[in-house]
Amino acid sequence: MPPHSAATSVSVVGSTPGPRPLISAIVPTRNRSALLREALESAFAVEGRGRVFDLEVIVVDDASTDDTGEAAARYPVRYIRHATNRGLSASRNTGIAASRGQYVAFLDDDDLWLPCRFTRQVAVMESRPDAALAYSSAMWTIDGTPVPLPRQRHPTGNVFNTLLARGNFMVGSVLVVLLRRAALDRVGHFRGAGFEDYDLWLRLARHFPFVHVPGCVAVYRQTSTGLYARLLEDPEARRLRRDIVGRALASVPRASRRFRDTVVDQMELRNMQTVVAAGMFTDSERVAMLLDLLAEYPRLVRYPQCRRGLAWLVRQVALQSPSPLDTAAGLCDRVQRACRCPGSARRALARVWGEVAIGLHLAGRRDVAWPAILRTCQYDPTQLIARFRDICVERSRRLRPA
């Protein structure tokens, strides 16, 4: 590559624009040549290529040091290589700038498209010239193990408010969308490093409708040590989410105070859930992070899911301590200082002590469990009743015949 050039491309284009719509598939990659081959095999196996639509595949090599170039050369793709590592957003944008299609689709090098990837989406987008994108669903695996996904609604139409309130509801996100190039050019391309897809969807949804197309069209292959997992476990993720949501709210200055509060509350709950699930930190570190989050945003403690997550983490830390009651008492003092609403603080403390009591009871330390039960009743006995109700419901589900 010439030293004065930021990128050099070698084109081997597999289709020519004609009466059929052209889809530009952007495949960013870096040092994962074996996975890239699997991704490209899945891209060229999609149904309808050359008959319903034409497909150009653009591989953007983000300064790999392995045999990525040789791997890409085995396929009829357009290959572009960055001279230096510029990141995922820049790689996708490079591909977009080089693309010729009226539709754009994205395939990360560690994921797979299913043969039905565009079977219905193309027809839907051709019939809905007002829509920015069509999206479907993806199968999700972590370290090769399928992950069951909760049932959720898939909205169609004006989804801006839903995106703000629920977060990025598209599992697999960029992997499952077919995006209209004209809409993308209007709002701008990817920006930032972290939740960049969510940021782009919010900007698009501000101006255009989305269309949900039922069905599973891809396999989202996440690893427990991958880029997305590391991002979720990085405390910087909270700032990224806040910046993205803050910019989106700024674009709707007439939104009501109630709506704004709801959006921010739900965003902070997602931040809280990320802390609770962050496997790279110890239980003590996660408790400290959650208490810091509560100090920043004390409204969170009003939500049952926050109290549940906090209680579970304190229970884990207390049970690992040689003096579980003293440890729980010290953490509860910090909870009380972080919570500014006395009523919510009492419910949180009752939930924490109730969880500690249950943990001690299950561990066979019933003599120590009773003082924790008394503490629970001192703050709010209904929290203990609610916890036992949850246990009974869970056990009844396990006993229910399949």
Whether residues 181 and 311 share a domain: the answer is no
Q: Does residue 76 form part of some domain? A: yes
**Domain for residue 323, yes or no?**
yes
| Predicted pLDDT at 252 | 93
- Residue 191 is part of which domain span? 7-224
**Residues 90, 186: one domain?**
yes
Residue 265 lies in a domain: no
CATH code of residue 180:
3.90.550.10
Task: Verify that 11 and 129 share a domain, yes or no.
Answer: yes
Tell me, yes or no, whether 321 and 201 share the same domain. no
| Residue 368 covered by a domain | yes
State which of 199, 224, 249 marks the end of a domain: 224
Give the residue ranges of the chain where pLDDT is below 50.
Answer: 1-17, 229
Does residue 277 fall inside a structural domain? no
Tally of domains within the chain: 2
Pair (204, 344) in one structural domain? no
Residues 171 and 300 reside in one and the same domain: no
The answer to whether position 258 is within a domain reads no
Summarised one tens digit per residue, pLDDT across range 19-30 is 899 999 999 999
402 domain residue, yes or no:
no
Q: Give the 3-state DSSP-derived string for the chain, with helices as H, strands as E and coil as C.
A: CCCCCCEEEEECCCCCCCCCCEEEEEEEECCCHHHHHHHHHHHHCCCCECCCEEEEEEEEECCCCCCHHHHHHCCCCEEEEECCCCCHHHHHHHHHHHCCCCEEEECCCCCEECCCCCCCHHHHHHHCCCCCEEEEEEEEEECCEECCCCCCCCCCECCHHHHHHHCCCCCCHHHHEEEEHHHHHHHCCCCCCCCHHHHHHHHHHCCCCEEEEEEEEEEEEECCCCHHHHHHCCCHHHHHHHHHHHHHHHCCCCCCHHHHHHHHHHHHHHHHHHHHHCCCCCHHHHHHHHHHHHHHCHHHHHCHHHHHHHHHHHHHHHHCCCCHHHHHHHHHHHHHHHCCCHHHHHHHHHHHHHHHHHHHHHCCCHHHHHHHHHHHHHHCHHHHHHHHHHHHHHHHHHHCCC
